Amino acid sequence: MKILVTGFEPFGESRINPSQMLVKTLSETHDPQVTLVTAVLPVDQAAAPDMMQALIGRHQPEAILAFGLAMGRSKISLERVALNLKDFRIPDNQGVTITDQPIHPQGPPAYYSTLPLQPMLSALVAVGIPAELSLSAGAYLCNLVFYTMMHTLALSSPGTASGFIHLPALPEQAAQADKPLPSMDFSLMQKAAHILLNELAVSLK
């Protein structure tokens, strides 16, 4: 069973991104039947969706778990919906800002996550990891990659389990902030990732 796991490089004022760190450490799972393919996406409105499409084409994964950073969230956010919308508050890492544009003019207005969100939420909370369902993945790069992967899969291999997970800031990012900012320990994110992968693998069997 092949699962694609992606993260993002740092963006905005941050020099680190927990989703990048997470993906780099996720070289294996406890389940010998699961093969992980990992990739770190650029925060580039053109290259990021291209890379996601290429990864899907090359690896034909049975499932995708895409991670990103959402500064200000206090819990791991299991995103429910990807919008067909690009509306950036800050430029991407190439300096490009896109305002109020669809991702695919002919695509559907939204895609819902096909991950087993309720079992994932229950499994995280059961071991004391702050987690929540979220109704908005924003309209920046995370949503762009989320929509792109759902759209690509809908056309090529409908039914593939895939979705997006937003991580809180890391403690070292909160330490640098001059205002209150929630954070989560990296070891807890790693524990969460293993639980999410396990729930995903269980749901695929």
Residues that bind a copy of itself (CB under 8 A): 73-75, 80-81, 83, 85, 87, 89, 100, 108-112, 118, 124-125, 128-133, 135-136, 138-139, 170-172, 174-178, 180-185, 187-188
Query: Minimal distance in Å, beta carbon 152 to a copy of itself?
Result: 16
Catalytic residue among 62, 79, 151, 199: 79
79 is catalytic: yes
Closer residue to a copy of itself in complex, CB, 9/132? 132
* Strand extents, DSSP E, the chain: 2-8, 35-41, 63-69, 76-79, 81-83, 110-112, 131-134, 161-167
Q: Are strands 63-69 and 161-167 parallel, antiparallel or unpaired?
A: parallel
Query: Minimal distance in Å, beta carbon 38 to a copy of itself?
Result: 24
Give dist(CA 69, CA 71) in Å, integer: 6
Catalytic residue among 62, 142, 151, 199: 142
Torsion (CA) 138, 103, 49, 8 in degrees, nearest 10: -10
Closer residue to a copy of itself in complex, CB, 31/87? 87
30 is catalytic: no
Query: Minimal distance in Å, beta carbon 35 to a copy of itself?
Result: 30
DSSP helix/strand/coil, 50: helix
Q: What angle do CA 168, 173, 175 make, to 5 degrees?
A: 120
Catalytic residue among 166, 172, 194, 199: 166
Contact 98, 38 (CB under 8 A): no
28 is catalytic: no
Closer residue to a copy of itself in complex, CB, 3/75? 75
Closer residue to a copy of itself in complex, CB, 39/85? 85
Query: Minimal distance in Å, beta carbon 34 to a copy of itself?
Result: 25
Give dist(CA 146, CA 78) in Å, integer: 12
The residues annotated as belonging to the active site are: 79, 142, 166
